[in-house]
Structure 1
Amino acid sequence: MTGLVVGLGVVLLVGLALRRIDLFVLVVLLVRTSLDAVRVPGPAGLDPAALLGILLLGTASTWLLATWRREGWPRLSPLALTSLAFAGAGLVGVAVAPAYAVALVEWTRLASIAVTLLVVERLAASATFRRRLVLVLLLAAVVPLSTAAVQVVRGEGLFEAGGFDRAVGTFTHPNPFAAYLSIVVVVALAQVVHRSETRLRLVCAAVAVLASLGLLATYTRGAWLAALLGVAVVVALRQRRLLLGVAGALVVVLLLVPGIAQRFGDLGDEESLRGEPGNSLTWRFEYWSEALDLASESPVTGIGLKQVAGESLEGKQPHNDFLRAYVEMGLLGLLAFTLFVAQLARTAVRGWARARGGPVADRALAAAFAGVAAGYVLMSAVANLMSQVVVGVYLAALAGCVSAMVQRGTDPALDPALDPALDPALHPALHTGPVPNNEHGRPPRAEEDPTGGTVEPGTGRRASAAGEAVTGGE
């Protein structure tokens, strides 16, 4: 029965992608957080989460190629170029991997994250799409947080490690769950700090509190620190003196929430009574040394994607994305990943500079991404995020939105989605020629522009009263 439901879902999503690629992307982002808990009898590759990843990669790539073929090769942003370069470096990791099939599956994860960034970067020229994406990202936390609450209350389904019962929600492990929740906390708080609508701020404040409680229940130190850093960035961009409030809240949490001080207290224990590493940080240092030795014979090309887990004694990923990029994809992979991370930071800085004088919704989005990007860089040094699609697609979606703002500006008059049902840029499967007539059978009229010119329908390009084309952004 579950397989039938999954199959029907795939058919519906394909149909949606053919008609409305923007809604398809939003639906994928809405449901992705809930799928890891769903299991279908049969090969692992047929799990709903894996199928959705393949569907996202296939449909989004097809849409991009169709759009580029119709409109010509676009001028890609530096962030998009580095994401593609990293996915390309992953192909080298596939070519040299002894376990080809395993490496190829891992590469599809990297590629789906890169493709998500490219698609969202194009769709996010629409201010409406950007607002909907933020809403979807927050709504996607409802099912995982509800599941985590049930786990904690009942004491069932928790992940026991290091003496702590850790919530996993609908995820397979508390670490990716915590990484996702750190994004939710930062995005929700950015709406509270940078928006002015009272109802929206109250709702987002509730989401931020619930996500923070869920994050605490994961007992994931790296995600805690990432969320704290992200919150500090968001608050500092609003008003630096508010950081005192963040510090005060942190002290209260440390004093009142049991287990937090204990979770950090074991960092001083280098060795347990059994001679094993006394904490996960000590274990990481030892495992990083072991992982580096694996690349000693092939430092240029690496040992192949997903091979650290396959060839190491521990059988685990190295918990450091920079190290993993080097060991599995060689110097080329390390360079590509470092450039990608650097472009994330650069896009965050430029996005805030572009948005701070624009609409409040875009300011909140830019501040949120700045905080999320800072936290992602921190977590990448101590966790396995590189190919975590359930985390990466949300980072890519936010990055694509802010990159679009950097490239095109935040002027609502330049929004190409004045009428999404008529916009061929969003629905190439429906439109192969000129923009279609409206519901009255007439060609759509140009929208009025406050500057005295017009907005060309379906393109978002402005024309002045003198007939000269006016563009925004860079």
Structure 2
Amino acid sequence: MLTNQSSSFLMSFWVGLAGVGVGIVAGFLAGAEPLYLGLAVGAIAIAFYFFAKFEQAVIGLLIIRSALDPFSDQQVPAAFAIALDLLTLLYVVVALLIGQRVHTDKFWWLFAAWVALQGFWVILIPLQELQFDDAVLLDSIREWVRLFSWLMVYLLVMQLKDRLQPQKMISALFFALIIPLTAALMQIFLPVSLLPTILQVTVDPISGEISRINGTLGLSNTFATFLLLFIGLAWWQLGQSQKRWPWLVLLGLLAFIYVGTKALFSLMMLGVFILVLMLPRLNLINLICGVLLFALVIGLFASTEFGQQRLGSLVQTPLLNPDMDISRAILLAQGDHNSFNWRLSQWTYLLKAWEQYPIFGYGLSTSRYLTIYNNYAHNDYVRAIAEGGVIGILAFLAFLGTQATHLIRLIRHTPPNSAQNKLCWVLLALLLSMFVGMITENIWTHTTFFFYWWTLLAIAGWNWNQSRELNAL
């Protein structure tokens, strides 16, 4: 095994050798296109900082991701994901060359196998084995790259194992809330005319006021799942910290903004989350706290005109109206603006399309082309069966089950009431609430949520007893 000094020397050697090659390329670019040279110089600077200050660079990348979605039209989140993939792969290659250990676990290999399997549907499109031709190939490739980026996030965070304390690593993630929460508060308290153009919001066509907030995540539903994840983390921190009032204040703020998203599916997710969270420590105090938190969110949601309309719309659906069947709901979906009836219609069209290609479906990211609405499925299980067929839905369910099994195994093998054990319970509660949310929402498309989800799942699998103190941040 190489010493730290020899590893650093070899790391510097290989990075320096790469720098020589990049310098030759930069000389060529200077004569061909100065703009490309500027981009290349920026990339070199980032790569050197990444290797020189690895821990700080990774934490910085994790924090900044929550602020990038407003720049989606400029492809900034996509460029960020590709850059992160390349940096992670470069780090792994250099680590292998110098004999340094690359940290993985069993779950990562299962994750990698599932991502590789998803590439099968991308390959089938140019082979003309599916309904669509090369016109949707680019969409499928983008979707696969997005899934691959999740795998790289998990792998990158695993490289911090035994370098940073898990508790401090998780605490650092709360800095990712600063910009989204600031944007959300601006959307709540500022008029539309004073908001920056990049903070696009849903505006009521009659009053001209903001009806739903989205922070920096573009869509209110996407922002809701992001907030729920950090509500879970704040709840976990509340049980770990001696000073509880800052975390109580943060929980209240997150709950207030959570209601501002006005996402009806998020109420179901919150209810499941609280129920699962209370199971291992079910007592009167926890039960009262959980009921009060849920009642607070429901009360705030129902106190708004928009919330009352959303709750009232459920009465005009087959869910709560026994006199209405699904066929009538589908007919009404064309003009009654009832989002649940619209979903029933969308799911029906997708399932009918799936019947034409039941085994392999239509390919990754094709569900929005399969119905008259040209929209996402708004049900991740229906999406999986339409895009992947029977094989795809089975693989999807198996992957979801693998995550649950992984967390349950960690819960069983960690000391009861330990910080790691409690974090795993929070993640399991989030996962089960996600399973429920997937029934009516496109949770699988919430890229920012999963960016932090895979980060936390990787940290939960660390050996917390062998983590070293963070020397500098």
TM band (smaller chain): 0.7 to 0.9
CA contact (8 A) 1:306 1:328 kept: yes
Query: Does 2:391 correspond to 1:355?
Result: no
Shift of 1:226: 1.7
Which residue of the partner structure matches residue 291 of structure 2? 247
CA distance in 1 between counterparts of 2:204 and 2:144 reads: 29
Distance 2:187 2:164 in 1: 38
Q: Does 1:305 align with 2:364?
A: yes
Tell me how far 1:196 sits from its aligned partner.
3.9
Structure 1 segment 46-445 matched on structure 2, within 5 A = 47-67=75-95, 77-97=105-125, 98=133, 99-126=136-163, 128=165, 130-156=166-192, 157-160=200-203, 165-192=211-238, 194-198=239-243, 201-241=244-284, 242-255=286-299, 257=301, 258-259=303-304, 260-270=307-317, 276=335, 279-357=338-416, 359-360=418-419, 362-404=420-462, 409-411=463-465, 414-415=466-467, 417=468
Report deviation, 1:393.
0.9
CA distance in 1, matches of 2:309, 2:183: 25
Shift of 1:355: 3.3
Task: Give CA deviations for 1:160-216 in whole Å, capped at 9, x if unaligned.
Answer: 479981101111111111110110111111211x21421xx3222222221111111
SS in 2 for 1:368: helix
Instruction: Please report how far the alpha carbon of residue 108 of structure 1 lies from its aligned counterpart in structure 2 after TM superposition.
Output: 0.9
Moved more, 380-389 or 272-281: 272-281
Distance 1:20 1:340, change over 3 A: farther
Q: Distance in 1 between matches of 2:162 and 2:269?
A: 29
**Mapped partners of 1:288, 1:274: distance in 2:** 12
Taking only the aligned residue pairs, the percentage that are identical comes to 19
Q: Which residue of 2 aligns with 1:431?
A: none
TM-score under structure 1 length normalisation: 0.75
Is the alpha carbon distance of 1:381 and 1:178 closer, same or farther for their aligned partners in structure 2, counting shifts above 3 Å? same
Contact kept, 8 Å, 2:334 with 2:342, in 1: the verdict is no
> Which one has the bigger helix percentage?
2
Quote the Cα distance in structure 1 between the aligned partners of 2:308 and 2:406: 35
Relative to structure 1, the CA distance from residue 212 to residue 340 in structure 2 (aligned partners, 3 Å threshold; closer, same or farther) is same
Residue aligning to 1:29 = 62
1:165 is paired with a residue of what secondary structure? strand
Distance 1:47 1:143 in 2: 19
Q: 2:411, 2:424 within 8 Å by CA — same for their partners in 1? A: yes
Structure 1 residues 252, 401: closer, same or farther in 2, change over 3 A?
closer
Judge conservation of contact 1:89–1:332 (CA < 8 Å) in 2: no
Q: CA deviation at 1:256?
A: 5.0
How far does the alpha carbon of each residue in 1:9-67 deviate from its partner, in whole angstroms, 9 at most, with x for none? 7555433323344333321220111111136xxxx5x5221111111122223333444
* In structure 2, distance between residues paired with 1:124 and 1:381: 35
Change (3 A) 1:140 1:418: closer
Q: Which amino acid aligns with 1:165?
A: S
TM-score (norm 2): 0.75
Give CA deviations for 1:370-404 in whole Å, capped at 9, x if unaligned.
22222222222322132432111111111111233
Give the RMSD, CA atoms, in angstroms. Answer: 3.2
Alpha-carbon deviation of 1:418? 5.6
Comparing 362-371 with 317-326, which one deviates more in the overlay?
Answer: 362-371
Work out the CA distance in 1 between the residues paired with 2:352 and 2:143.
22
CA contact (8 A) 1:221 1:263 kept: yes
Q: Is the 8 A contact 2:201 2:218 kept in 1?
A: no
SS of the residue 1:140 aligns to:
helix
CA distance in structure 2 between the partners assigned to 1:30 and 1:301 by the alignment: 38
Q: Call closer, same or farther: CA 1:165–1:298 in 2, change over 3 Å.
A: same
- Partner amino acid for 1:410? W
Contact between 1:222 and 1:382, CA under 8 Å: does it hold in 2? yes
CA contact under 8 A between 2:368 and 2:376: conserved in structure 1? Answer: yes
Change (3 A) 1:284 1:126: farther
Instruction: Report the alpha carbon displacement of residue 127 of structure 1 after superposing the two structures with TM.
Output: 5.3
AA partner of residue 265 (structure 1): G
Quickly say closer, same or farther: Cα 1:6–1:68, change in 2 above 3 A.
closer
* 2:103 and 2:161 in contact (8 A); partners too: no
The residue that corresponds to 1:432 in the other structure is: none
Gap runs ≥5 in structure 1:
422-474
What displacement does 1:155 show?
3.8
Change (3 A) 1:12 1:177: farther
More off after superposition, 152-161 vs 212-221: 152-161
1:176/1:255 CA distance change after superposition, 3 Å: closer
Question: Shift in Å at residue 152 of structure 1?
Answer: 1.5
Distance 1:326 1:273, change over 3 A: closer
Structure 1 residues 419 and 160: alpha-carbon distance in aligned structure 2, compared to 1, 3 A threshold = closer
Give the secondary structure class of the aligned counterpart of 2:372.
coil
**Native 8 Å contact 1:86 1:333 kept in 2:** no
Instruction: Give the aligned residue type for 1:56.
Output: L
Q: Deviations over 1:347-379 (max 9, x none)?
A: 22222333344753x244223222222222222
CA contact (8 A) 2:259 2:300 kept: no
Contact 1:185 1:212 in 2 (8 A): yes
Task: For 1:144 and 1:338, locate their aligned partners in 2 and report how far apart those are by CA, in whole Å.
Answer: 31
Secondary structure of 2:91's aligned partner: helix
Q: Secondary structure at the match of 1:141?
A: helix
